[in-house]
C-alpha cells in the first residue's frame, strides 16, 4: 500500500498537482516555442508571431521580452492577459551577416519569477550587390543610337 501511495504522490508531483489539489504548472503556454524562417535574404527584415496563452487562474502580465541581440526585436502588449485569454508577441529579425543563426527571445512574467525562452532560427544568404549585373554593352548601344 505504501508503494502505491508513493507512486501516486510522485505521479501527482510530476503532473504539477500539489497535496491541496492546486496546479503548480506553468500558467504561460505558447502555440510554438521555435520558429524556423528557412532561407532569408541578408538585410531584409522578417517577422513571426508567437501566441501566448494564460493557462492560469489569475490575470498574468508579461514583465519583459528580451532578445539576445539588436538584430532581433520583440513587440508585445503590456496589458494583463485574462485567464484563458491570449495575446501575441511579434518578433522581427534583420540579419547583418550571412550564414546560420539561432536567436533566443526570453519572456519574463509573474513579477520576474518565471521565464520562458522562444527560439528563432534560419539561414541568411547574401543579396547580390545590384538588382542586375553591370552591362558594358548598354553604354555602347546608347552611343550608337544618338
C-alpha pair distances (Å), 52 with each of 26, 55, 96, 118, 142: 12, 9, 29, 11, 59
Residue 21's pLDDT is: 43
pTM for the full predicted model: 0.70
- Domain for residue 144, yes or no? no
pLDDT at 140 over 80: no
Q: Say which residue, 29 or 22, is predicted with more confidence.
A: 29
Domain with residue 69: its CATH number is: 2.60.40.10
Close Cβ partners of 26 (under 8 Å, ≥ 6 residues apart)? 55, 114, 116
| Phi/psi of residue 81, nearest 5 degrees | -100, 120
- Domain for residue 79, yes or no? yes
On whether the CB atoms of residues 100 and 123 are closer than 8 A, the answer is: yes
Rounded to whole angstroms, the Cα distance separating 110 from 80 reads 11
- Domain for residue 137, yes or no? no
- Domain for residue 140, yes or no? no
Antiparallel, parallel or unpaired: β 114-125 and 99-109: antiparallel
Q: Helix (H, G, I), strand (E, B), or coil: what is residue 126?
A: coil
pLDDT at 146 over 60: no
- Domain for residue 103, yes or no? yes
Domain limits for position 102: 25-128
| Domain count across the chain | 1
- Domain for residue 34, yes or no? yes
pLDDT at 47 over 80: yes
Instruction: Give the range with max mean pLDDT: 7-11, 21-25, 29-33.
Output: 29-33
- Domain for residue 53, yes or no? yes
- Domain for residue 74, yes or no? yes
Amino acid at each position: 500500500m505504501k508503494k502505491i501511495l508513493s507512486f501516486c504522490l510522485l505521479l501527482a508531483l510530476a503532473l504539477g498537482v500539489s497535496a491541496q489539489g492546486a496546479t503548480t504548472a506553468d500558467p504561460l503556454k505558447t502555440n510554438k516555442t521555435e520558429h524556423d524562417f528557412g532561407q532569408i535574404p541578408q538585410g531584409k527584415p522578417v517577422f513571426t508571431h508567437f501566441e501566448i496563452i494564460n493557462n492560469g487562474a489569475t490575470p498574468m502580465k508579461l514583465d519583459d521580452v528580451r532578445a539576445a541581440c539588436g538584430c532581433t526585436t520583440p513587440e508585445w502588449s503590456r496589458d494583463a492577459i485574462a485567464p484563458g485569454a491570449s495575446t501575441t508577441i511579434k518578433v522581427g529579425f534583420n540579419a547583418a551577416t550571412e550564414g546560420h543563426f539561432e536567436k533566443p527571445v526570453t519572456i519574463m512574467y509573474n513579477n520576474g519569477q518565471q521565464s520562458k525562452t522562444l527560439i528563432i532560427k534560419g539561414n541568411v544568404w547574401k543579396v547580390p550587390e545590384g538588382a542586375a549585373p553591370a552591362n558594358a554593352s548598354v553604354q555602347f548601344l546608347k552611343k550608337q543610337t544618338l
